[in-house]
Structure 1
Amino acid sequence: MSSALQAVQQSLVASLENHQPLVAEISGVFDGPPPRAVFPYIALTTGASLDWSHKTGVGRALTLGLTVHDTGSSAARLHRVMALVEEALADGIEEPQDWTIVTFRFRRTRIVRSATGPWFGIVEYRARCLQS
């Protein structure tokens, strides 16, 4: 049995990689910022896993973060890629092995940039799941 976070992240990545308009815009989806990656790309951020159990079952409430990394003089492409992420996940994700997803919801987005670095767009979701 895999952890809920690992299982749900795998389903999330599969949903992103199966969305052709998104795949056409990015160089890949990675576990973290890869060395020498071509911009734009998506990196999973460390998610939080909280207990969501009940009397008769094990459950987890997960925070799933995706960070879109991009360069450029404006955030136009970053906004487009972030919109495609939301589009790819609008109908939820496939049920992961050993877990049943009870809810999968968009939480928030945020864009940040340091004066000397690339743009970062964070797209965050919340999933609540029960062990099957």
Structure 2
Amino acid sequence: MSGALEAVQHSLYSALNAHQPFMDAIDGIYDGPPPRARFPYLALATGASLDWSFKGGVGRELSLALTVHDDGDSAARLHRIMALVEEALAAGLTDPDDWQIITFDFRRTRVLRNAVSPWSGLVEYRARVLRRDFI
């Protein structure tokens, strides 16, 4: 049942897209790294979906990974953009159709870079959702 992940990612995209300071700081939001995007940009990764059901309902625990890619000389701009991601999502997400978001939690951030690639900043969240026809 991948519908939960897709629905929550759509709410995540909407929340980020509505935060103008974040959108002003990046080229765009993509579903995975695009072939020819200008830096900096954000890529949504397909996350893990685990069973979070109970006797009376269907639920999922979702891992949501957002990666900011930047080719700056230092990580300063990357850190500012990652902070804007957290700011944009601080109020949580709007419940998508057919699902209720029970919890939406920040998990971690991580910055990576090797000598031949741009900066990558991971911002990870966890969402627990229940299908509405069981609520």
Q: TM-score, normalised by structure 1?
A: 0.98
The residue that corresponds to 1:29 in the other structure is 29
Q: Distance in 2 between matches of 1:43 and 1:110?
A: 15
1:45 aligns with 2:41: no
Amino acid at match of 2:88: A
Query: Residues 2 and 49 of structure 2 are in contact (CA less than 8 Å); yes or no, is this contact kept in structure 1?
Result: no
Amino acid at match of 1:44: L
Query: Residues 69 and 119 of structure 2 are in contact (CA less than 8 Å); yes or no, is this contact kept in structure 1?
Result: yes
Query: Residues 29 and 43 of structure 2 are in contact (CA less than 8 Å); yes or no, is this contact kept in structure 1?
Result: yes
Q: Distance in 2 between matches of 1:33 and 1:19?
A: 21
Deviation digits for residues 54-109 of structure 1 (CA, Å, limit 9, x no counterpart): 00100000000000000011000000000000000001011011000000000000
Amino acid at match of 2:22: L
Shift in Å, 1:25: 0.3
The residue that corresponds to 2:78 in the other structure is 78
Q: Distance in 2 between matches of 1:122 and 1:63?
A: 12
Q: Secondary structure at the residue paired with 2:50?
A: strand
Query: Residues 2 and 98 of structure 1 are in contact (CA less than 8 Å); yes or no, is this contact kept in structure 2?
Result: no
Instruction: Show the 5 A alignment for 1:1-132.
Output: 3-132=3-132
Q: Alignment length, in residue pairs?
A: 132
Q: Secondary structure at the residue paired with 2:48?
A: strand
Identity of aligned residues (%): 67
Amino acid at match of 2:51: D
Unaligned runs of 5+ in 1: none
CA-based RMSD of the aligned residues comes to: 1.1
Amino acid at match of 2:101: I
Shift in Å, 1:2: 6.7
Q: TM-score, normalised by structure 2?
A: 0.96
Query: Residues 50 and 61 of structure 2 are in contact (CA less than 8 Å); yes or no, is this contact kept in structure 1?
Result: yes
Unaligned runs of 5+ in 2: none
Deviation digits for residues 16-62 of structure 1 (CA, Å, limit 9, x no counterpart): 00000000000111001111101000001120000000001000000
